[in-house]
Amino acid sequence: MIVVFGSLNVDLVTPVERLPGAGETVIGPGYALHPGGKGANQALAACRAGAEVALVGAVGRDGFAEIALSLLAADGVDLANVAHVDAPTGAAFIAVDAAGSNQIVVAAGANAFARSAVLDTMPLSERDVLLLQREVPEAECIAAARSMKRAGGRVILNLAPAGAPAAALLDCLDVLIVNEHEALVLAQSLGWPDGEPEEVARRIDAERGLTCVVTLGAAGVVGWQGGVRRRLAAPQVDVVDTVAAGDSFTGAFAAALAAACGFSGALQRGLAAGSLACTVAGAQPSVPRREAIEALVGQAFL
């Protein structure tokens, strides 16, 4: 089982001709409401990639809660441990330009009240994987990671949104997933002058014994594990928007790792899922299913 401890949001997505600069207003023709949040997106991605998934988090007692939970429930993610609290359901405000790039502002809302104590009541084992991000309180992420480590399971952190991780959290991890910007922030937090993404991944692996994966957008992905480098080019796709590409990568990667596909197989499936997510608008609506992921893996990597 994959346990995702993370955020649930409603995404308000607006298409714009170009992204605004500081202090600038741009006009979009309308907006759409989609379920989102990094925790929810990654839970859905892992589920659609074939894993059994339980999500631990919090939503409000408002109309947005139903939207935030809708696709997760439809796809069979276990939502028994999602709390309903007296705070507004989290929301993300997303502008997407004509090239598919985006700007995102997140209001935490109920996500600030996500609590990890429920993991101690779950039947965790060494076969399980905990998947974390940075849209819920870090102290709770550390507690969740320690619960999974006590059970003998593995812990994956997607360092998104970018920020300096606590040393106590890094000490609990088996796998760290970052994009290029997050790799730079990580390097700065560790006092490393070279923030080149691949060098960051190599040093994390070499100096901390921690598998590190860097997603490189259209350039693909590079991973270091046990002193061995793996680099994959991204499949060529028609990009609509890049929202949830990283979440789709992370969820599918975790599902493949849990299914004993090996590190290289997990990178392939993560990269295929992230690429496919770019071909459909929105966050959760763009998350691909196992059949499409495996088909693209067969075309691009095998």
pLDDT tens-place string over residues 82-139: 999 999 999 999 898 988 788 989 899 999 999 999 999 999 999 999 999 999 999 9
Q: What is the pLDDT of residue 176?
A: 98
- DSSP codes, 80-112: EEEEE-SSPPEEEEEEE-TTS-EEEEEE-GGGG
Q: What is the pLDDT of residue 281?
A: 80
Tell me the pLDDT tens digit for each residue of 189-248: 999 988 899 999 999 999 999 999 999 999 999 999 999 999 999 999 998 888 889 999
In angstroms, the CA 279 to CA 203 distance is: 33
Establish whether 128 is a catalytic residue.
no
Q: In what order do the strands lie in the sheet with 175-179?
A: 78-84, 53-59, 2-5, 129-132, 154-158, 175-179, 211-215, 221-225, 228-232
In angstroms, the CA 195 to CA 236 distance is: 27
Residue 265 CB contacts under 8 Å (≥ 6 apart), including other chains: 256
> What DSSP element (H or E) covers 269?
helix 262-277
Residue 135 CB contacts under 8 Å (≥ 6 apart), including other chains: 6, 7, 9, 37, 38, 39, 90, 106, 108, 111, 161
More confident: 285 or 177 = 177
Q: Is 254 exposed, middle or buried (0-12, 13-18, 19+ CB in 10 A)?
A: buried
The fraction of the chain above a pLDDT of 70, given in percent, is 100
Residue 25, pLDDT > 90, answer: yes
Tell me the pLDDT tens digit for each residue of 265-287: 999 999 999 999 999 987 788 99
Q: Are 110 and 59 in contact (CB under 8 A)?
A: yes
Q: Are 153 and 119 in contact (CB under 8 A)?
A: no
SS3 label, residue 16: coil
Q: What is the pLDDT of residue 285?
A: 87
Residue type, 227: G
Round the average pLDDT of the chain to a whole number and report it. Answer: 95
- pTM, whole model, 2 decimals? 0.93
Q: For 273-297, b where at least 16 C-beta lie within 10 A, e where not — what string? A: bbbbbbbebbbbbbbbebeebbebb
Tokens 């350039």 sit on residue:
219
In this structure, the number of other CB atoms found within 10 A of the CB of residue 299 comes to: 10
Residue type, 211: T
Residue 302, pLDDT > 80, answer: no
Residue 127 CB contacts under 8 Å (≥ 6 apart), including other chains: 1, 153, 258
Residue 245 CB contacts under 8 Å (≥ 6 apart), including other chains: 274, 275, 277, 278, 286
In angstroms, the CA 272 to CA 302 distance is: 12
Q: What is the pLDDT of residue 100?
A: 78
